[in-house]
Amino acid sequence: MKQFTYEPKGRHRRSSLVVATLAVFVAISGSALAATAPVPLGTAKSFVVLAGAGVTNTGKTTLQGDLGTFPITAITGLSTLTQSGTNHAGDAVTQGAKKDLTTAYTTAAGAGPTKAIPVELGGTTLQPGVYSGGALGLTGTLTLDGGNNPDAVFIFKAASTLITASASQVKLVNVNPCNVYWQVTSSATLGTGSHFVGTIMALTDIHLTTGATVSGRVLARNGAVTLQANTISLPVCSQ
């Protein structure tokens, strides 16, 4: 009887151990799979301004990165533009970057799983992940908190426009600005004196009004980029 009673208990303990081990493995694997991957920018990564229908600048603008536009190659206002990168205009480098931008835009558009966000982003604090909304707006401050993960990724998908108000800002807490992406199905407009963070990938136009600054990139697939005494700084990216 003792042997009969003991053996089932032993098997039960061994089974419990296996189940517990599998549960931990599944939990770890699920967590790893849930991590959002950075959007691959390819050769578009070196551009702070990339357009499809030309670039227009008014006032003293500073670009800390490359500039290019294709298939419409017109760039106006270069006399008041200071640039630390290269003006590729519509050359082969720009054409390659435009192809990579299309891939990046499509990748961001298909990223998931998504969390719904309200039209107004101001006054909110968000954790890493993929967010989807309609016409996105920002008045005041949007805080992105990476928690304890310095490699945290944020992807925002706007089904329509992205418009930020004057003096609005994106604030980062333990987040690499290289890992913030904005996929905009229509146009993007940054308000006067606003400070924006991340890579904007718009299907049509991108407008920066007077004094708006960006830590990231403004990349327009098919439309034009309009600048007005702005500063766009290319962050240092590891990926």
What confidence tier does 34 reach under pLDDT thresholds 50, 70, 90? low
β-bridge mates for residue 69, sequence order? 51
Residue 10 has pLDDT above 90, yes or no: no
pLDDT of residue 236: 79
What is the per-residue pLDDT for 53? 98
Q: How far apart are CA 122 and CA 169, in angstroms?
A: 9
Q: Is the pLDDT of residue 196 over 70?
A: yes
Summarize pLDDT for 44-92 with one digit per residue, the tens: 999 999 999 999 999 999 999 999 999 999 999 999 999 999 999 999 9
Give the Cα separation of 57 and 47 in Å (integer).
Answer: 16
pLDDT at 30 over 90: no
Give strand pairing partners of 154: 129, 180
Over the range 156-191, which residues count as b (16 or more CB within 10 Å of their CB) and which as e? bbbeebbbbbeebbbebeebbbbbbbbbbbebbbbb
Q: What is the DSSP string of the chain?
A: -HHHHHHHHHHHHHHHHHHHHHHHHHHHHHHHHHSPPPP--GGGGGEEEEEEEEEEEES-EEEESEEEEEEEEEEE-GGGEEESS-EEETSHHHHHHHHHHHHHHHHHHT--SEEE--SB-TT-EE-SEEEEESSEEE-SEEEEE-TT-TT--EEEEESS-EEE-TT-EEEEES--GGGEEEEESS-EEE-TT-EEEEEEEESS-EEE-TT-EEEEEEEESSS-EEEES-EEEPPP---
pLDDT tens digits along 159-168: 999 999 999 9
User: What is the pLDDT, as a whole number, of residue 238?
Assistant: 54
Write out pLDDT tens, residues 217-238: 999 999 999 999 999 999 877 5
**Residues of the chain above pLDDT 70, percent:** 85
Cα-Cα-Cα-Cα dihedral of 167, 165, 134, 44, to 10°? -60
* Cβ-based burial of 150 (10 A; exposed 0-12, middle 13-18, buried ≥19): exposed
DSSP strand pairing (180-184 vs 162-164): unpaired
Confirm if 201 and 32 have CB atoms less than 8 A apart.
Answer: no
